[in-house]
Structure 1
Amino acid sequence: MSRFKRDGKIDSRAGFKTQIQESPVPRGLLNAARKSGQLNLTGRGLTVVPESVWRLNVDTPEEAQQNLSFGGSDRWWEQTDLTKLLLSSNKLNSLSEDIRLFPALVVLDVHDNQLTTLPKSIGELENLQKLNLSHNKLKELPEEVWLLKNLRSLQLQQNLLEELSDGMGQLTNLDDIDLSNNEMTTLPERLGNLTNLVKLNVSYNKLKSLPLGISGLKRLKLLDCTQNQLESVPPVLANMASLEQLYLRHNKLCCLPELPSCQTLKELHLGNNQIEVLGAEHLNHLSALSILELRDNKVKNLPDEINLLQDLERLDLANNDISSLPCALGKMPKLKILSLEGNPLRAIRRDLLTKGTNELLKYLRSRIEEPPEDLSKDAPKTAMTLPSQAKINVHAIRTLKALNYSEKQEASIPDEVFDMVDGSAITSVNFSKNLLTALPPRIAELKDTLTDINLGFNKLTSIPADFCVLKWLVQIDLRNNLLTSLPLELEALTNLRTIILSFNRFKVFPDVLYRLYSLEAILMCSNQVGSIDAAQLKGLEKLSSLDLQNNDIMQVPPELGNCTSLRALMLDGNPSRNPRAAILAKGTDAVLEYLRSRIPT
C-alpha cells in the first residue's frame, strides 16, 4: 500500500505510472539544442557524455516515438545541426569517437576537465573553427587534430604537452594559439607555416630556443615567451614585420635582442633576465616602442641614445645596477612612468627620486647645459683627516645633506658617525649592508629633517614604536631583514610615500600599512604573506605600486580590481590559481579588469 502513497495520501494513479530514470542531461535541453544548434553542458559534474547527446542529430526524439502531437514550434524534423558544444568544467576523462556525429560543429569547448586523450575522429570535424582544450591532462595530441583546416583558435594552455609534431603547420587559418603552462622543450619548425597567426603564447614552458621557422609569422602581433629557459633570441625574429608586443620576461637572456626590422614593436618586456648591457645598437630601430621593461636585470648604464625612443611612455629599470642617469632622458617627450627603485643611484638625491617621473625629468633637463658635478667620490684625505673621518663622506654630509655609513659589516653605528653631522640638516641616511640587529638610538637626533632612510640588508627583527618620531620620512627601505611585523605607531608617518619590505619574514600584511594614506608604493615581494584586505587597500587612494610577488597568497580577492589607482600590481610567484599566469603576464590593467569581472553581483 505504501508504494501508492504520496505524502501520506493514497495516489490512485500510481499503479499506472512508468517510473522514468532522470537523465543528467534534461530532455528539454536537448530539444532546445535541436532548434538553436547550441548545447551548453558546462559544470554539470559529467564523468561521461551521455549517448543521447552524441546522437542528438541522429535519433528521433522520444516524444515522436510515443506518437505525441507536436505544435508548429516543435517540428523535430526541422532540427538544426549542432554547431556549438560546451562541455567545460566537468570531470571528463575522455571523449567518445561519436564526436564525428557532429560534422557541422564550429565551436567545441572542453576546457577544465581531466582529459588524457582525444578521439581520432575529432579530425572529421572539418567545419570546426574554435577548439578549447585548456586545463586538462593531455600529454600528446593525435595527428588527426592537424586535419582541422578551418581552425582559427586553438587553446591548449594548462596541459602536460611536451612537444607538438610538424603537422601543426597544416593549420594555416589559425590566428590564435595558446600553448602556455605546459612541459614543452621545443616548438615545431613548421610553426612558421601559420602565416595568419596573430597571437602566439608559449609562456611557462621549458623552451631553450625558438625555431628559425618562426620568422614566417609575418602577421604575428603578440609573442609571449615569458618564463622559459631562453638564453638567446634568433636574429630572424626581426623579420616578423607586424610584431607589436614581445614578452621575454623570466628567461636567461644575457643581452638585449637586436631587432633591426621590428619598426612596429610597441612593447618589449625583458624583466627578470641577466642582461648587463643596453647599447645604442639595441635601440636604433625601436622608434615605435611605448613600453620598455627591464626590471630585475644587471644593467649598469643607459646610453645617451635612449632619447631615440621618442614614443616611449613607460621605462621600467627597477632593481638593476644603474649608478647614474644620462641627462638625455630629460628629452623624452612622452615618458610618463620611469621606475628606478632598487638601483644604487648616487648622483641624484633620494628625495628627488621620490617626487615622481615629471620632477626627475625636469631635473635631468636642467642639467643638460652644465655637466652634473661628480658628487659620488669621498672628500680627498689630507694630513688633517682623522681616521674616523676616512670612513665617512664628510663632503656628502655638508653638500648633499646625506649620512652614508653602508657596507661596513658592523653590528652598530659608532657615535662618531653621528658626531660628524655637527648640526647639518641631514635629509638622507644610508645604513644598509651592515649587521644591525636594532635601530641606532641616536637616529632620533635627525627627526626634524630626515626624509629618507635605508636600513636594508641588516639583521633587524623589529622596528621600535619610537621610530614614529621621524615624522618627515618620505621613504623607508627595510628590505632583506628579519622583520615579522610593524608597530601601529608608524601611523604617525603621514608623509610616507614609499616603504620597501621585500625579503623579510612577514606572514601577515601589516595592519598599519592600511592606515598610511599617503603611501604611493608598497613593495613586499618574497615574504610569506597569506592574504590581503582589498577593501582597506582601496582606502589608499594614492597607492600606485603594489609588489606582492613570491608570497603565500592562496586567493587574490576580486575586489582588488576596484583599486583603480594602481599602475603597477605584481602578483607573480604566489600559489593562487587566479589570475592565471597568462593574465598576469599581460600587465596591471589586464589583471585589474580580470579581477573586476569576477566580483559577485
Structure 2
Amino acid sequence: MDVMMSEEVKMEKRKSMEEEKLETVDLSGLSLDSLPDPSINVASIFKLDLSNNNLVSIPESLTARLLNVVIFDVHSNQLKSLPNSIGCLSKLKVLNISGNMIEALPKTIENCRALEELNANFNELTKLPDTIGFELIHLQKLSVNSNKLAFLPYSTSHMIALRVLDARLNCLRALPDGLENLINLQSLNVSQNFQYFESLPYSVGLLISLVELDASYNHIKSLPESIGCLKKLQKLSVEGNPLVSPPMEIVEQSLEAVKEYLSDRMNGKESSPSKKKKSWVGKFVKCGTFNGKMVNNSGVRNEDGGFLMSDYRSIDGLASPRYMSMFSPRRLFSPKTYFAR
C-alpha cells in the first residue's frame, strides 16, 4: 500500500514539474482581428487566453499544435465556429467559448476526453453533438445558458461526473431520459425556458446528490412527486410557474413543506385541503372580511353590503389552487414587509 502511495506521489510531482516548464500565454483584450505568428513553441503552452478580442476564426494549424494546452479561453470574440482540430487537444480540461456567435460545436470536440469544464454560454447553439455525453465522461461542469437549445441530447445523461448543469435561458422543451444516471449532479438550472418548458421528469427526484434545483419562470403546472425524496436538496426555485401541485401556499412556506407535500402524495397520503381551508376561512370571518350569517344555500348580500354565506363551501372556488397564492394566510395575515423583497 505504501509503495503504491509513494508511486502516486512521484507521478504527481513529475506532472507538476512538467507543467511548470509549460507557458501561460495571455493575449486577452488586445482588440486582435487575427493571431500573430507565435514567438514560442506552441506545444509548450499550458494556458492560452485569447479572450476579449475581435477574432472571427482560430486557425486549424494553430489548434492542432497546442498539444499540451490544459486551459483554452476564447470567450468574448466574434467566433462563428470552432476549428475541427480542437479534437487534437487531448489534455484540455477547461474550454471557455462563451460570448461568441457559435451555432454548433464540431463533433471532434468529443475527442477532448480530459475535458472537465465546458462554458458555451451566450452563443447561438441550436443543438449539441448527439454523442457528446458518451465521450466526455469526465466533464464536471456544462454551461450552455443563453443559447437556442430546444433539447439536450440523450447522451447528456451519461456524463456521470457532471456536477453542474446550467441550461437556463434556452428554448428547452424537456430534459433527456436517463437523468438518474447523473449521480454526482449537485446543481441543475433549467430556469427561464418560459412557455417551452412544461414539466420536469420523474427522474429529477432520483438525482441523489442534488443540492440546488432552479426551474423558475417556465410553464410547469406540477412538480414530480419524486422531488420529495431528494434528501440533499437545500434550494428549490419554482417561482414564475403556473403551479397547481403543490399549491403556491405550500411553496411559500418552505422547502420542507414542499418535500413533505410531494412525499405524502407519492405515498398516497393525500393532505386534507378542506381542513386547511376551514382554518383560514375562520380568520376571514373573525376579521370581518366575510359576514358569516346563515342564510339559504345561495349567497346573498345583506343590507350593509356584507356577503352572507350558508357555509364555507361557498368560497371553495376561491380556495382552489388557482387562487391560493392570492388568498393564502401568509399573504393576508403577515406584516407588510413580506412584500418588500
Which residue of the partner structure matches residue 141 of structure 2?
245
Structure 1 unaligned segments of length 5 or more: list them: 1-105, 108-126, 376-383, 387-393, 406-426, 431-448, 453-469, 474-491, 500-512, 514-521, 523-601
Contact 1:396 1:403 in 2 (8 A): no
The C-alpha deviation readout for 1:63-91, integer Å capped at 9, x for no partner, is xxxxxxxxxxxxxxxxxxxxxxxxxxxxx
Matched, 1:335 2:229: no
Give me the whole-angstrom Cα distance separating, in 1, the residues matched to 2:70 and 2:261: 46
Residue 204 of structure 1: which of 92, 99, 102 is its match?
99
Give me the whole-angstrom Cα distance separating, in 1, the residues matched to 2:272 and 2:105: 44
Measured at CA, do residues 227 and 218 of structure 1 come closer, stay the same or move farther in structure 2, by a change above 3 Å? same
Q: Determine what percentage of the aligned residue pairs are the same residue.
A: 28
| Higher share of residues assigned helix | 2
Contact 1:253 1:273 in 2 (8 A): yes
Residue 356 of structure 1: which of 254, 271, 278 is its match?
254
1:184 is displaced (CA, Å) by 0.3
The C-alpha deviation readout for 1:240-295, integer Å capped at 9, x for no partner, is 1210000000000001232243111111100000011235x151432221111100
Matched, 1:451 2:330: yes
Which residue of the partner structure matches residue 187 of structure 1?
82
5 Å-filtered alignment, 1:67-78, equals none
Structure 1 counterpart of 2:147, which letter? N
Matched, 1:231 2:110: no
Contact 2:264 2:271 in 1 (8 A): no
Higher relative contact order (CA 8 A, sep 6+): 2
Structure 1 counterpart of 2:86, which letter? L
Which residue of the partner structure matches residue 14 of structure 2?
none
The C-alpha deviation readout for 1:86-107, integer Å capped at 9, x for no partner, is xxxxxxxxxxxxxxxxxxxx99
Measured at CA, do residues 169 and 307 of structure 1 come closer, stay the same or move farther in structure 2, by a change above 3 Å? same
Structure 2 unaligned segments of length 5 or more: list them: 1-18, 274-296, 300-311
- Structure 1 residue runs of 4 or more that deviate by more than 4 Å after TM superposition: 371-375, 402-405
Contact 2:186 2:211 in 1 (8 A): yes
1:362 is displaced (CA, Å) by 1.7
Matched, 1:368 2:263: no
Residue 67 of structure 2: which of 172, 175, 196 is its match?
172
Which residue of the partner structure matches residue 493 of structure 1?
336
Secondary structure, counterpart of 1:362 in structure 2: helix
Which residue of the partner structure matches residue 534 of structure 1?
none
Measured at CA, do residues 214 and 293 of structure 1 come closer, stay the same or move farther in structure 2, by a change above 3 Å? same
Secondary structure, counterpart of 1:214 in structure 2: helix
Matched, 1:347 2:226: no
Structure 2 counterpart of 1:172, which letter? L
Which residue of the partner structure matches residue 318 of structure 1?
216
Measured at CA, do residues 191 and 141 of structure 1 come closer, stay the same or move farther in structure 2, by a change above 3 Å? same
Give me the whole-angstrom Cα distance separating, in 2, the residues matched to 1:385 and 1:204: 62
1:213 is displaced (CA, Å) by 0.9
Give me the whole-angstrom Cα distance separating, in 2, the residues matched to 1:313 and 1:395: 40
Give me the whole-angstrom Cα distance separating, in 1, the residues matched to 2:263 and 2:41: 60
Measured at CA, do residues 163 and 373 of structure 1 come closer, stay the same or move farther in structure 2, by a change above 3 Å? same
Give me the whole-angstrom Cα distance separating, in 2, the residues matched to 1:192 and 1:278: 27
Matched, 1:129 2:23: yes
Give me the whole-angstrom Cα distance separating, in 2, the residues matched to 1:362 and 1:274: 31
Contact 1:291 1:314 in 2 (8 A): yes
Matched, 1:292 2:135: no
Secondary structure, counterpart of 1:149 in structure 2: helix
Which residue of the partner structure matches residue 56 of structure 2?
162
1:234 is displaced (CA, Å) by 0.1
Structure 2 counterpart of 1:493, which letter? K
1:342 is displaced (CA, Å) by 0.3
Contact 1:317 1:340 in 2 (8 A): yes
Contact 2:120 2:144 in 1 (8 A): yes
Which residue of the partner structure matches residue 401 of structure 1?
319
Structure number with larger C-alpha Rg = 1
Give me the whole-angstrom Cα distance separating, in 2, the residues matched to 1:233 and 1:398: 48
1:349 is displaced (CA, Å) by 2.8
Contact 1:292 1:315 in 2 (8 A): yes
Measured at CA, do residues 353 and 319 of structure 1 come closer, stay the same or move farther in structure 2, by a change above 3 Å? same
Contact 2:67 2:91 in 1 (8 A): yes
TM-score by length of 1: 0.44
Which residue of the partner structure matches residue 301 of structure 1?
199
1:147 is displaced (CA, Å) by 3.8
Give me the whole-angstrom Cα distance separating, in 1, the residues matched to 2:48 and 2:107: 22
1:235 is displaced (CA, Å) by 2.1
Contact 1:278 1:299 in 2 (8 A): no
Structure 1 counterpart of 2:186, which letter? S
Give me the whole-angstrom Cα distance separating, in 1, the residues matched to 2:152 and 2:314: 36
Alignment RMSD: 2.9
Secondary structure, counterpart of 1:191 in structure 2: helix
TM-score by length of 2: 0.75
